[in-house]
Amino acid sequence: MKVITLCGSTKFKNEFEEVNKFFTLKGHAVISVGFFEQSEGIEITEEQEKLFEAIHRKKIDLSDEIVVIDVNGYIGSSTRKEIEYATGKGKGISYYSRLFPEK
């Protein structure tokens, strides 16, 4: 069993849920985002954004690998920072576009 943290734009709520289900059914512990501010139209402050970045880095610390939700190859600046952080911590990195190439 691996611990996997999902990273990516919160506008991809459906894809996050799909990947969470996929890895959970394979017996892995999946850590995701707390909510989908872009998909759900939730406004957050700059202070909250910094807090959520710190929380997500902690989630990465707890994981064996991350899965990047890169729908249509899209990787935003926050996700790029998470990839860099995970790389620096020696975490494995997988990509949605490679796991589900038909999508």
* 16 domain residue, yes or no: no
Per-residue pLDDT, 42? 77
With respect to residue 94, please indicate whether it lies within any of the assigned structural domains. yes
| pTM of the predicted protein model | 0.92
Whether 103 shows a pLDDT value over 70: the answer reads no
pLDDT tens string 51-101: 999 999 999 999 999 999 999 999 999 999 999 999 999 999 999 999 888
Q: Cα(56)–Cα(5) distance, rounded to whole angstroms?
A: 9
Instruction: Name, in order, each residue with C-beta under 8 angstroms of 16's C-beta and a sequence gap of 6 or more.
Output: 6, 8, 10, 32, 33, 36, 69
Range of the domain at 32: 22-99
Number of structural domains, the chain? 1
- Domain for residue 51, yes or no? yes
- DSSP structural state of residue 34: S
User: Residue 56 is encoded by which pair of tokens?
Assistant: 């997500």
Q: Is residue 32 part of a domain?
A: yes
Residue 86 lies in a domain: yes
The strands making up 3-8's β-sheet, listed across from edge to edge, are 29-31, 3-8, 65-69, 92-95
- 74 inside domain: yes
